[in-house]
Structure 1
Amino acid sequence: MTQDTHETPHDPIEVGGAVWFRSGNETLGGAARIALLSAIQQTGSITGAAKAVGMSYKAAWDAIDAMNNLAGAALVVRATGGRGGGGTTLTPKALKLIDTYRAIEREHRVFLERAGAAIEGFAEDWQLIGRIGMKTSARNQLFGTVRQIKRGAVNDEIELALSGGQLIVAVVTHESTESLGLKEGSEAFALVKASWVILMTDDLNTPTARISARNQLKGTVSKVTLGAVNAEVSLALDDSTTITAIITNESVETLGLEEGRSAVAAFKASSVILGVTD
């Protein structure tokens, strides 16, 4: 093997991670929400805090409502009128939450630095552990990278590139794009319920069907599990990505679905839920 004597210097590989608080199955707060609380403490207003952290006013209030509900007690209170003209303040519980988060985050950073120095390939494995540990009721959990964001009047159209190169399109609100921190190149996952997926096959004797579903992923049937009425059909999109649909046993027979058969999984862009891991 020939060694290149003109090596280009590379930035060192660093380990990344994030801390978030949970209440049951819901996220109470992560870096973005804690930053919002800190900004409220500093500015004394929702408008000022939202601007400071790069959120819209509505997204900020949505986050506050969610935190108040999940905490079981008010974290943010809004005063109206009075000599000072009102304002927004944090409760003692919120102030303690900020201090606790910062302390845990410091210890978390120390842990990641030590682990990254001691374990080969830790950075990549740590991200994978976070993804496979995610629990959700949606059968299909597809991981990818945001390829493009198209802004609309009310909603945004997000293109997510899967590992095999196929694309998933999701339609979400501006506030969701903002609160999730979605941007080109960022990682995200798409959730699609199996009951929302329609399967199609190519038949040489039948004209190719045209449907309005924006997402049409090509693959090969890898598994068919028949039930009393419905069946679960899994479609391998590539070596690492599978999507599952729930259809009737009659549809399985009509479409001739069996292992090795080529098929297309179709679903609407509005049926895709996007999420991020931190």
Structure 2
Amino acid sequence: MEFESSLTLLNSDTPFLLEKRIKLLEAIKQEGSISKAAKLVPMSYKTAWEAVDAMNNLCSNLVVKKETGGKGGGGATLTLYGENLLKTYCILEKEHKKFLKSLTKLTDFHTGNLKSLKRFAMQISARNQIVAIIKEIVEDKVSANIILETKSGQTMVSNISKNSIDALGLKIEDEIIAIFKSNNVMIATNELLGLSARNKLKAKIKNLTFSDVSCEVQLDISNDEILTSIITKQAALQLELKVNQEVFAVIKSSDIMLGK
């Protein structure tokens, strides 16, 4: 047994994007006509028109641009807003299916109980969590180096066990989360080419917060990617760190965990 449900988006408690309406938008994009799209879904021509009107009315922007008349019942195209809406729904639907799959694994259908509902609300203490794309997987019999590309185009390497690859179902072009603790992020004022640590990310210091013994360093590696490093106060003073200074965030590949 497994969980199954469709994804519906509401607008002011009114059903706005349902699975069948998404299929209609996909068909309109393909056929360029509401009448042809209605046959493809399938649904009646009247229902299709009413669905398009409902989506256009409930949305702040036009979803489908339509032209009445003509032998084929008029033409229709998705607006840029409609295209983005369709893409967003597809992303949400993918995550929705992943959630249902995880829920199925956590449920004991023999007793009707969840094995561990707390896992869904689990939060981790690691401060740094970065979205990245897997670009290469280099395996041996025991472990593997996962080559990652961040949103800012920088390269990271995570060294994990081969069993972890199988457990997570990792493959090239997967979007994952790179996770590492703030006290595992070292700061270097130059690239340190002779250093064995694989990850040296270019960064700019955004903020420095000192305590009696430590210093929290916020590092900007792109417009929307911020890392946190915790180093000793003495180290920060010795390096003469200051806001807006360009530095390198250095992380060992074995300190980077992956989440999916």
User: Does TM-score exceed 0.5, indicating one fold?
Assistant: yes
Whole-angstrom distance in 2 between the partners of 1:197 and 1:95:
46
What are the residue-to-residue correspondences of 1:156-195 with 2, within 5 Å? Answer: 156-195=144-183
Q: Does 1:212 align with 2:200?
A: no
After TM superposition, the structure 1 = structure 2 runs for residues 239-278 of structure 1, keeping only pairs within 5 Å, are 239-276=223-260
The higher relative CO (CA closer than 8 Å, separation ≥ 6) is in 1
| 1:18 maps to which of 90, 97, 100 | 97
Residue aligning to 2:188: 200
CA distance in 2, matches of 1:225, 1:18: 42
Larger Rg: 2
SS of alignment partner, residue 183 of structure 2: helix
Q: Write the deviation string for residues 91-134 of structure 1: whole angstroms up to 9, x where unpaired.
A: xx443559x99xxxxxxxxxxxxxxxxxxxxxxxxxxxx9xx97
1:127-186 Cα deviation digits (max 9, x unpaired):
xxx9xx973100111111111111112111111211000121111111111111110111
Superposition deviation, residue 20 in structure 1: 4.4
C-alpha contact (below 8 Å) 2:130/2:225 kept by paired residues: yes
Aligned partners of 2:98 and 2:238: how far apart in 1? 49
Q: Describe the SS at the equivalent of 2:222.
A: coil
- Matched residue of 1:182: which SS? coil
Relative distance call for 1:218 and 1:192 in structure 2 (3 A) is: same
Q: Which residue of 1 aligns with 2:139?
A: 151
Give the match's secondary structure for 2:254.
helix
How many pairs does the alignment contain? 170
Task: Give the Cα–Cα distance (whole angstroms) in 1 for the partners of residues 207 and 97 of structure 2.
Answer: 36
Segments of 5+ residues of structure 2 without an aligned counterpart are 1-28, 32-82
Question: TM-score, length-normalised on structure 2?
Answer: 0.58
User: Which of the two has greater strand per residue?
Assistant: 2
Query: Aligned runs of 1:83-162 on 2, under 5 Å?
Result: 93-97=108-112, 135-162=123-150
Q: Structure 1: which 4+ aligned runs deviate by more than 6 Å? A: none
- Listed as ranges, the gaps of 5+ residues in structure 1 are 1-7, 22-28, 35-66, 72-92, 102-129
Identity of aligned residues (%): 26
Q: Deviations over 1:25-74 (max 9, x none)?
A: xxxx716x73xxxxxxxxxxxxxxxxxxxxxxxxxxxxxxxx7xxx8xxx
> What's 1:30 paired with?
102
Cα distance in 1 for partners of 2:193, 2:151 equals 27
